[in-house]
Chain A
């Protein structure tokens, strides 16, 4: 397929695409296994960054006329029959694989090479509860960095409040997928070249969006502002324990810092930790590092007088990631935590 005229997307259209097709994200527990069918379309286009610069991306999108970075999250249940079809609308070759994941036969999930204009379908039975990143592993890490990635999770059979059997419990869950973006690299990939410059990220996102502080254009718009994106922002009352499935599509090693509560640190790069540590900063490795944690939504312990409502940030403490285009503090990878 020849697409000389690239699609141009605002952050708004990207997020609207996500919000409008949130069926898989809004997973609800089921007593029995189900058949899950999902089609992703590999598309490309430009997304405007906080400083107004249009940057080239590719994504696993929900239709041919949209660009989703990251792709829509998938949450399935152990035992589900999962059918994933990838339609490659571009001229370049791509694949779809789920990092570190094996199905009930112990086999990895990977389409192999999908040439331009071709499609591929994978079918497998979900196993191995946990948090994973799906991505295009060809031309690594470039295709992943340019946007071809998303979150995939398997819930344990018969359980709606545990990440693995016997884990600490939660009542709601979110993916936090971080990315860092060097527009020079993205442009090289657009032109079919291998980046040959030192990696210098200039934009930093959570679930594809950057922050917009009060007073900034787009502040409060859930389709533009990462601080109000319902995929990222946490909303809860006291006791609404929230599972955070944290994935790093980018290159930068980061420090994930929550205000208001320490996190219960459950897993580290896919391994269940021996003990649950309470942390206000958790190390997130670059290049597909990941962890799971629970934000407990407890009354902030050090408040006097005591409080049960309020608004606090989550941000990366690797503070370079809180900028856009070399400045614009608080236009980076952060979101808000609403005690309601």
Chain B
């Protein structure tokens, strides 16, 4: 049987819990799951222990699970997405991400992408994840670096059944995202992610303490979808057997939850943006897919001030950026010429370098 890794904390007593594991052998492939249960899931550890060192938070996010989010593409086809529902009725989230335009509202109330989390640097945050009996999931706040028991890495800690509270305190303003970290290869591709924005103590309007201010905000989370993966079971492949998770052959390309291959995201704030000359536009770019990407700004020059939630020692001026999976870049534009500028992001095959698809949105300067 599997042995869960213990977690620890300097100032609190480690919470040790006994759980029923779903680990099992992979003999025979595909069926496996010697531990039984959970629909053939293996090497997962259902648990919902008490949160070590729990204190009263400054901010709370309540998230549930929605495994039925129909996303309508420009060609009229619908692809099923999974996501985290916002069961707290807002919880301080803003704008940014959250299923705009594409018809991505699930029966369980979730959007694709999932509702954003947004808080100020230094606030103590509780992310309450409630998972029903049918599945196992976690929340990993990508780029946030908490204690291991708040890091949300399934399989090597635990996979939440019931309700678990991740407690953390972000200390660096910037752009992050959160995603499921159980059978991650599948769950994140299925759409189980949302934006996570940490503002400086002064709140929105400044990128980080001592950093640049901005007037308008856009968010570009570019992702690819292989619709052939979207009929798989939540635990597909975990017990062995070839379910094709080594091959991601996308047929749809989305930007912040909207089919980006055509015009759907061209005039859809806060994906697209309108900015007056003399104003500053902050674009928060998240490489939310797995294949590498290249984003171009249609002739505009932007300035990267921070990446992965950390300020650059010296800001860099760019007309395009190459990015790998889960990187984030915060780019400020101060356009001087009126016009409409096309922002295009190529999704590039990780082996061949072939451009698989491109998303489009726009910056309008008035």
Contact surface of A with B, Cβ cutoff 8 Å: 50-52, 199-202, 213-217, 219, 227, 251-255, 257, 259-262, 274-284, 286, 300-313, 317-320, 322-323, 325-330, 336
Contacts and interface: CB of A to CB of B under 8 A. Distances in A.
Give the interface centre of B1, B4, B147, B186 by most chain A CB atoms within 10 Å.
B147
B327 A281 contact: yes
Given A254-B324, A327-B240, A259 B145 contact: yes
B10 A305 contact: yes
Interface string B56-93: 00000000000000000000000000000000000000
Contacts of B309: 262, 280
Given A214-B2, A214-B5, A280-B308, A329 B184 contact: yes
B241 interface: yes
A310 B8 contact: yes
28 contacts: A50-B26, A52-B26, A201-B351, A215-B23, A227-B156, A252-B350, A253-B292, A261-B145, A262-B309, A276-B313, A278-B308, A279-B327, A284-B324, A286-B351, A301-B172, A302-B141, A302-B146, A302-B169, A302-B172, A303-B150, A303-B169, A304-B53, A305-B10, A317-B324, A327-B239, A327-B241, A328-B240, A329-B245
Interface of B: 1-5, 7-12, 21, 23-26, 29, 35, 42-43, 45, 52-53, 55, 124, 141-151, 153, 155-156, 167-172, 183-186, 188-189, 236-248, 290-292, 307-310, 312-314, 322-327, 348, 350-353
A272 to B, nearest CB: 14
Q: Chain A: interface secondary structure?
A: loop
A281 B25 CA distance: 32
Contacts of A215: 1-3, 21, 23-24, 35, 42-43
A201 to B, nearest CB: 6
Interchain residue pairs A-B with the least CB separation, the first 8: A215-B2, A327-B237, A215-B23, A326-B242, A255-B324, A310-B148, A304-B169, A278-B310
A323 B324 contact: no
A92 B208 CA distance: 59
Max chain B C-beta neighbours (<10 A), residue from A213, A275, A282: A213
B248 A320 contact: yes
Contacts of A279: 307-308, 310, 327
B308 A252 contact: no
Contacts of B310: 262, 277-279
Given A215-B3, A323-B246, A328-B26, 8 more contacts: A51-B240, A251-B351, A275-B314, A301-B171, A311-B5, A325-B246, A326-B247, A327-B241
A302 B144 contact: yes
A328 B237 contact: yes
A277 B239 CA distance: 39
A96 to B, nearest CB: 26
Contacts of A305: 9-12, 52-53, 147
A280 B142 contact: yes
B350 A286 contact: yes
Nearest to B237: A327
B246 A320 contact: yes
A312 B313 contact: no
A284 B26 CA distance: 31
B2 A303 contact: no
B350 A200 contact: no
A213 B155 contact: yes
A259 B147 CA distance: 10
Given A323-B245, A329-B186, A253 B350 contact: yes
Nearest to B29: A51
A217, A276, A307, A309 interface centre (most CB from chain B within 10 Å): A307
A276 B156 CA distance: 31
A310 B142 contact: no
B244 A326 contact: yes
A55 to B, nearest CB: 14
Given A216-B26, A262-B308, A329 B237 contact: yes
Contacts of A281: 308, 324-327
A328 B170 CA distance: 33
A303 B168 contact: yes
Contact of B246 (A52, A202, A260, A303): A202
Nearest to A201: B246
A334 B313 CA distance: 30
Contacts of A217: 25-26
A308 B12 CA distance: 12
Given A302-B145, A329-B155, A318 B26 contact: no
Nearest to B141: A302
A52 B240 CA distance: 10
A279 B188 CA distance: 21
Of A301, A302, A323, most buried by chain B (CB within 10 Å of CB) is A302
A255 B327 CA distance: 8
Contacts of A259: 145, 151, 153
Contacts of B146: 300, 302-304
A330 B151 contact: no
A51 B169 contact: no
A261 B279 CA distance: 35
A323 B185 contact: yes
B324 A283 contact: yes
A312 B151 contact: yes
Contacts of B5: 214, 311
Contact of B185 (A252, A282, A306, A320): A320
Contacts of B3: 214-215
Contacts of B150: 303
A317 B151 CA distance: 15
B234 to A, nearest CB: 11
B243 A302 contact: no
Contacts of A282: 324
Nearest to A310: B148
Contacts of B8: 307, 309-310
A309 B243 CA distance: 37
A62 B29 CA distance: 34
A308 B149 CA distance: 13
Contacts of B171: 301-302
A308 B325 CA distance: 28
Contacts of B240: 51, 325, 327-328
Contacts of A200: 246-247
B308 A306 contact: no
Contacts of B45: 214
Contacts of A310: 7-8, 147-149
